[in-house]
Amino acid sequence: MTSAIPKTVIIIAGALFFCSLPWAADYFGEQYLISLFTRILIYSLAAVSLDLLIGYGGLISLGHAAFVGIGAYVTAIFFHHSFVAEPIAGIVAGSDNALLVWPLAIIISAAFALIIGSLSLRTSGMHFIMITLAFAQMLYYFAVGLEKYGGDDGLSLYSRNQLVGMDLNNDVHFYFVCLFFLTLFLFISHRLVKSRFGLVLRGAASSSRRIKALGIPERRYKLVCFVIGGAGAGLAGALLANQTEYVSPGLLHWTLSGELMVMVLLGGLGSLFGPVLGATAYLLLEETLAMYTEHWMVYFGPILIMVVLFAKRGLFGFLTQKE
Amino acid sequence: MILFIEQLLNGLQLGITLFLMSAGLTLVFGIMQVINLAHGSFYMIGAYVGATVTVFTGSFVLGVMAALAAAGITGMAVEILVLRQLYDRDHLDQVLATFGLIFFFNEMTRIIWGKQPLFMDMPVWLKGSIELLPGLVYPIYRLAVIVVGMSVALLLWYLFSRTRLGMQIRAGASNRDMIGALGVNIKLLYTLVFGLGTLLAGLAGVMAGPIFAVESGMGESILILTFVVIVIGGIGSVRGAVVGALMVGLVDTLGRAFLPSLFRTFLSSSYADSVGASLASMSIYILMAAVLIWKPRGLFPSYN
């Protein structure tokens, strides 16, 4: 077997790569790379937040897109109301200030995660997978029914949010904002899973009976994990709405939840940095296959099955080869 | 009143379709402990093959038979090639691998049949309507769907509770090691159960063909409804699937038909329509959440 590459080397190499990407794109004159990699950063953020749930909490949620969608819709609705200068529901003024709207997107996503999580965590196993899926679909149909905000067609933002000292409409500025948030979320998650909280979570995931016997209220820990994951996804949603300057119910659709799950597994479950690798590989593979054939999914499906069957530990596990 | 009965029948018909989908899936969940997202793909295969053979031969019966065969055989092939490797894996792997299967099947139908939806004609002898009650005219085809579905439900009941195969299936659901030790070929049994499930999904698909458009991805919308049915009914319980399917079919259909007008009695009409419509499409999910809060393992929890 090939010799293992230390984790820190991979992480530093990744950090250097992402930091230098805008200059590289500029040098090679491939400006579209910046927006492609911005998308990769945002999906990475969402995938890392899902990895917290699946990889550490053992919570296989197939409804994670709901929180991405909520974050995106909060951003878009506030923008829309500030654009047409009409208060939301006649009470709250709209806003396009990132410092106001993004925290709101995070808080509202987290609030939804709290409600959905506290209901879903009454169940476990297969039931949990299906009930999270059903809640996400419920919100999807809710978004389709939002005629005021475009319904099925979605809602366009005419510009990105305002952020003090930055010009988010500048792609390079926006790229670094996304990179900053991904790094921040990775740092927080890393601290979290190394803490006592993370230990309890992993314990509950591997043997919930033992954790209960130790007198620890595991459901509360899992719920907090679910809420933090939802908050991270909400932030990813807010960024995604800004990047594409457009939101649609598609952001809440269960196929996005499935894709995020694929990214997590492709990169390596329960490794935090793995999902970044997974999201990068997934989106680059999609981009490359789509270049050659319109029917890229016919190849992608079997590749995915192969990865599941034979490469359990994902790309990150393959590179670090702990065993 | 007439309108209400008509909608009731529509709800019954949706419920029957959902039952055909969920009976197979709940067995696969319950017996093999496998979560299969690709079940909707067999519904789609049934519809496509049924539509194509019907157009080609001009016979609806042949179309149905081809659809059943195609869905059943593809199902057994998928079981042998992919799912068999997944029985001992955790649910996450099963979700992802079957998600990959969806990608493959959806795109495959797009390659074979193109992007345009197919339209399937009803057979002449099922066209037209019949007057059930004075003033209540109902399409024969939809009645036929209800009748077929109910016969299948009876047949399944007979299969499970009165035959040797059914006994083995039930035994496999409660203790798979023991039935293996008693000399039953458990691998073959699993393949057969999976094939039966996909065959039923194919039947649901081909019967839905003349009512809805046959298109790539048609399996996914009904798959989610099927999940709701199974969660309500209790994973692994065929009886639960019957009750859950009828509940979901009725709530969804009646909600769509009557909620907007209900809201119109106390809201302005345009607002009522949009609130009513979006609440109607959420109604089954609300129903599911309510059931789960009341009974986290569904209405008819199975033993294991």
How distant is the Cα of A28 from the closest Cα of chain B, in angstroms?
34
> Does A1 score more than 50 pLDDT?
no
Of A138, A269, A295, the CB nearest to B285: A138
Of B86, B93, B296, the CB nearest to A122: B296
Give A-chain residues touching B298 at CB under 8 angstroms. Answer: 127
Sign of the alpha-carbon dihedral angle for B6, B10, B13, B19: negative
Asked if B278 and A122 come within 8 Å (Cβ–Cβ), the reply is no
Question: Is residue A266, in this structure, part of any structural domain at all?
Answer: yes
Q: What is the rounded average pLDDT of the residues A23-34? A: 83
Rounded to whole angstroms, how far apart are CA atoms B35 and B39? 9
The residue segments making up the domain with residue A309 are: 7-320
Query: What pLDDT is attached to residue A183?
Result: 93
How distant is the Cα of A309 from the closest Cα of chain B, in angstroms?
7
Residue of B67, B39, B63, B65 whose CA lies nearest to B53:
B63
Q: Which of B4-8, B212-216, B274-278 has the lowest mean pLDDT?
A: B274-278
Give B-chain residues touching A135 at CB under 8 angstroms. Answer: 285, 289
Residue-wise DSSP of B56-124: HHS-HHHHHHHHHHHHHHHHHHHHHHTGGGGTTS-HHHHHHHHHHHHHHHHHHHHHHH-SSPB--PPPG
Question: Is residue A1, in this structure, part of any structural domain at all?
Answer: no
Look over chain B and give the mean of its residue pLDDT values, rounded to a whole number. 86
> Does A309 score more than 90 pLDDT?
no
Stated as kind and residue range, the H or E segment containing A58 is: none
Rounded to whole angstroms, how far apart are CA atoms A85 and A78? 10
> Does B220 score more than 70 pLDDT?
yes
Sign of the alpha-carbon dihedral angle for A168, A173, A174, A176: negative
- Who has greater pLDDT, A93 or B70? B70
Q: Does B296 touch chain A (CB under 8 A)?
A: yes
How distant is the Cα of B37 from the closest Cα of chain A, in angstroms?
10
Query: What pLDDT is attached to residue B84?
Result: 86
Query: What pLDDT is attached to residue B74?
Result: 95
Of B220, B230, B293, the CB nearest to A122: B293
What CATH number does the domain containing A273 carry? 1.10.3470
Q: What is the pLDDT of residues A220-267, one digit of tens each?
A: 999 999 999 999 999 999 999 999 888 999 898 888 998 999 899 888
What percent of chain B lies above the pLDDT cut of 90?
23
Query: What pLDDT is attached to residue A92?
Result: 76
Look over chain A and give the mean of its residue pLDDT values, rounded to a whole number. 86
Query: What pLDDT is attached to residue A2?
Result: 53
Q: Does A142 touch chain B (CB under 8 A)?
A: yes
Query: What pLDDT is attached to residue B303?
Result: 56
Strand partners of residue A247: A155
Q: What is the rounded average pLDDT of the residues A53-57? A: 90
CB interface of B with A, residues 24-83, below 8 Å? 29, 33, 35, 37, 82
Q: Which tokens hold the place of A232?
A: 């991270």
Q: What is the pLDDT of residues B160-198, one digit of tens each?
A: 888 888 888 888 777 778 888 888 888 888 899 899 999
Total domains in chain A come to 1
> Does A47 score more than 90 pLDDT?
yes
B175: helix, coil or strand? coil
> Does B266 score more than 80 pLDDT?
no
Residue of B196, B204, B209, B210 whose CA lies nearest to B226:
B204
Asked if B278 and A145 come within 8 Å (Cβ–Cβ), the reply is yes
Q: What is the rounded average pLDDT of the residues B258-282? A: 77
Question: Is residue A131, in this structure, part of any structural domain at all?
Answer: yes
CB interface of B with A, residues 96-125, below 8 Å? 96-97, 99-108, 110-111
Question: Is the Cβ–Cβ distance between A75 and A102 less than 8 Å?
Answer: yes
Dihedral of CA atoms B162, B166, B170, B171 in degrees, nearest 10, equals 100
How distant is the Cα of A99 from the closest Cα of chain B, in angstroms?
32
As for the ipTM of the complex, it is: 0.80
Strand partners of residue B118: B214
Q: What is the rounded average pLDDT of the residues B212-239? A: 85
Q: What is the pLDDT of residues A123-179, one digit of tens each?
A: 887 788 888 988 898 899 888 888 778 778 888 888 888 888 788 888 888 899 999
> Does A197 score more than 70 pLDDT?
yes
Residue B20 amino acid letter: L
Question: Is residue A2, in this structure, part of any structural domain at all?
Answer: no
Give A-chain residues touching B112 at CB under 8 angstroms. Answer: none
Query: What pLDDT is attached to residue A323?
Result: 46
Q: What is the rounded average pLDDT of the residues B279-300? A: 84
Q: Which tokens hold the place of B224?
A: 């989610």
Q: What is the DSSP letter of A149?
A: G
